[in-house]
Amino acid sequence: MSKQDLIEFLYKRQNHRGLTRKNIEDVVDTFFLHLSNMIVRRKEFSCPKFGNFQVQKRKKTKIRHPQTGEWMDVPSRKTISFYASPVLTKKVNS
């Protein structure tokens, strides 16, 4: 689902409560901005019955370039991981 698909879904779901597509787009943009800010500041964002976003630290490592066979250093870095809640996992598996 793309951002535009989400906006269209929410627009149709509102049952003509007076919100325009632009209003809904602003809400969606604000939500994702807040979500990303919370992950950056707190290193975690939790939503019950949905899941958790967490910042994970990856250690520095060495890899081999697949074409040249040369060893390369991969610096340490941070990544974002998502852990689904048991409720969401159950819905996906049913």
Give a yes or no: residue 50 inside a domain: no
Domain count, the chain: 2
pLDDT digits (tens, 9 = 90+) for 4-53: 999 999 998 887 688 889 999 999 999 999 999 999 888 888 999 999 99
Residue 51, C-beta contacts closer than 8 angstroms, at least 6 positions apart: 82, 83, 84, 85, 88
| pTM higher than the cut 0.75 | no
Residues 29 and 59 in one domain: no
Give a yes or no: residue 61 inside a domain: yes
Give a yes or no: residue 59 inside a domain: yes
Give a yes or no: residue 48 inside a domain: no
- The predicted structure's pLDDT at residue 61: 96
Give a yes or no: residue 86 inside a domain: yes
Residue 7: domain span: 1-42
Give a yes or no: residue 47 inside a domain: no
Residues 33 and 60 in one domain: no
Residues 38 and 64 in one domain: no
Give a yes or no: residue 27 inside a domain: yes
| Residue 39: closest CA among 50, 55, 28, 27 | 55
